[in-house]
Structure formats: C-alpha cells, structure tokens
Structure 1
C-alpha cells in the first residue's frame, strides 16, 4: 500500500478530524496487511505503571500519622498515671494546684511526699459549689499555719491562665523548704444524709440549692413554695436570736419572717426566722 493511501485510511478512522476520501482498494489492502502480519516475533511486554513519588510519600506520611494516633489512644499496661497536682516554683515559694479534682486523695498525698512535704490531704463532704476545691488547712502550731496560704482562683497562675481555666482554681502556697506538718481539706460530694463539713454562708449563694432566690424579709408562707420548687425535701427552722439560734418549740406561723437560709446537708434547708423583719 502506498503511504498516502495508508495515511488517508488512518485519518478516515476519525471522520470528525478529516475530509479525505478513502478508496475501496485502500481499505482492502490495509485489511490484508493487518490480518497477515507476523505476530510470532512480537514480544509481550507487561506494563508496570510506576507510582508517582509524591503519592508514595503521601501514603507513607498517612501511615505514620495513623501510627502516631493509634499509639496515643492505646493504654499500655503499667502506664504511669498523669499528675493529680501541679507544683510551680515562684521565688522561695511553691504553688500547688489540683490538676485532677476526681483523683483519690492518696494520689495527692503521694505527690506531696514525693516533693518532700509533710502535707496530708483529706476528702471531706461539702456542698455543691465546693466540690473539688481546697476548702481549709490546719497545722500543728501557729508557725505551721503562718507558712501556708490558700490561693483564690486566678491568683498566682501560670502564663496566661485565668480563674476561668480548670488549671487555675484554688491552690496552696507554701515555702519550698517547708518543714511543718499540715492537713488540707479537699471537698467531695456528700453522701445521702451526710452533713457538710463546709458550705457557703447562705443557701442562696451561687451554686447552692437556693441560688438566686431572695428570701430575706419574705414570710414563711412566701418562701416555702420557692424552697419546695428547688427539690428540697426537708425544711428546718431556727430562731434568729444569736448566738445559739435555738430550734423553736413548734413550727413557726406562716406570717413570720425569714431572715436567712442555710444548707447543711443535701436536699435540706434551714430557715432562720423571727416574728419581725430583719433590720
């Protein structure tokens, strides 16, 4: 077959890209050439498509990241627990803050001991807003007591931490070379019927059972529905005549005035009342 005829035939296979006319003789010659071609000597080549290097690197990085994530979430046997307390040196002082408020007090004591400090943490029942907080401390003598100071939320915090951060709540400040012996009370949730060791000055304070209510100089009849609406199951009364605040011989009349309210156990409220309004 002549070259021009072959070229025309090939172009004719794509009619959208040519206007050449292909003769019948050219088609016949091309057909014969194709069917009689010697294929015995034609090598068979297996094509191996090479993966682009960039894709291979991406795949390797993906596997590496997956391995790191897997290593992070797997709990290994005998893995050390995170710290329950944080210790920060500030000059000649040491600032101690609770990192894990749900930790067993034994962990706090172990970490104080590791720092060479004779400080014992005791978990005591407290009202709701004091759970997970250091509420008080005591020592053998005045010298021990004078070396300790409770820190308010936001006070002496690391970096840019503020009172809004979990790691910047109540803390304890003491000398780095503290040689005293002290007990620190740490608040825990009270069990049913258990009296609080520490509570707020008023049951209407933030976080307490009557938070946000105004009870002062309202009558008993006005206050009782408000108290019941908060789920309080038991209401006690005390005569607001200090310093003993005695229990009245009988339930005060509904026309008496409530001076204040306190809570000493979960689901219980004590109303301090008198026949006249508080001044």
Structure 2
C-alpha cells in the first residue's frame, strides 16, 4: 500500500530527523529564523489536505524538541483573513504585494469562484471575483462592478490613487480570448471597502454568455442593428439569416404596476412576422434571442429603465 504521508513529507521544510535531539541543527535554525523574522516578513500560506492532521503529532514532537513552536509555521486561510499575509497562492490564482498594489495573476479562469475570493481575503482585501463566460469581445473585460464600504466609518477609499482595479494581459500583445493570454488584476493595497467584480472569460462550447445584453454592441452578433423604436419580426429574422444565426424567441410581459418585465420563451411557430422586436440578447455562440410583443407598445419597455430579472 502506498504511504499516504509521502506527498506531505515532500512539502515539509524541516523533517523530523533534522529536529529530534538536534536543537542546533541547520534545519531547526532555519525554521526558527523564519519565525522570528517579524511581521515584515512575507508569509506563504499552505493549505494542506486532510491527511496532514495525521502528521501533526510527529512533527509537533520533533519541533518541540528543538524548542520551536510549530503553529508559527503553518498559517491557514482563517488566520490570513486578517490581512497578515502579503502573498497567497492556490490552484486558481496567485496574489502578491507589489509596492502599493496587490497583483493577482489568474492561473485557471475556469476555477470555482470561491478560490479567487479566498485568495483576496487572505491578503486582507474584501473582494469577490467571478470569472464568467462571455462573448469574444467581452473576454478580458469587467462585465459588472460593485463597490462600497466594507466596515468602519467613511466611504470606501484608497490613498494610493483611485479605488478601481486595473486589468492587464500577458503577454501585452495577446488577445484576451486566446487560450495562452494571461489576465492580471491590480488592486490598491490600502483599499478599505468591498468589491464585487465580474470578469469575462472565454466561453466553453455550448456555454451561455453572461453579457447577453451586448448583442447590438460593436463586434457582437447584432452589431449595428437598431431596436430602440421596435422592428418587425420578419425583418429581424432576415437579418439573423444574413448573419448565419439561430433565432430563439421570448415574449415580453410588462407589469403595469411595478414596471418589471418578465419573459416567456415561445416556439418559433407561435410568433408571427408582424410582431414587434424590442430587444435582442445573445445566448451563446451562433444563437440570438429576440424579445417580442404581439402588439406594438407606445414605447420601448427597455428604454424606460424597467427592472430586468438577473
């Protein structure tokens, strides 16, 4: 049977044999130096798998023989949430301090969103980052951005110049929708508030876009199509065929009291050519959804700031 401790043995900076009965060994001295380096030293966080608990009694015994407190070595995410770390890494993202900014390098754009949030919290930033599927022109762009006060009095702020994060690509000449184009987010290290960011990533085949409302924007599926005044379904079907797009339909149902809009998916054979198209959403690659009403409304419901479902 394979020894389950072997992977953990390779992670250890100081092994039991170097500590037992050797309080002055080189390994023990190096460990002690790393602990007493003080708060200015960079802390590297390591989250070990569950079997690590099986190794703790042996490692603790060896460390105590050298007069060293082992809890000063392994720093878990709970402790790092206070902002004591200046760097943090997991399988999804690397974050490190660079002057007056934290630089977050995204390693896996398809990772669970909690991995990114975990890393920002570890260095003391209240940031929730989500990488979501987007159309090609939405990749590498912030699709949504919310910020506010996290705690304490006064507005969220940064004294190092601005509170908004910036986005860069590696290499600089790459296109964000390329597989080998890396994304880096920079955030002021002294930012005092909270941020909720949504960043576009390349959509996998068949995956629906988060930036659905961009359909008529430059470079998108219905680039240049004007729907502010409403257009007949027949005209928009011809436009979709010209662009080699598959069309889906939803019927708009405005609420007269609240102004909220709801949408009822409809089969194409239930939609007449003289109905009115008020908006278009891009669903996924090659698929567009036309939002229609049987009658022509006095004004475009989307132009009145109507509440839309998320």
Q: Name the TM-score, length of structure 2 as normaliser.
A: 0.42
TM-score by length of 1: 0.46
Structure number with greater Rg is 1
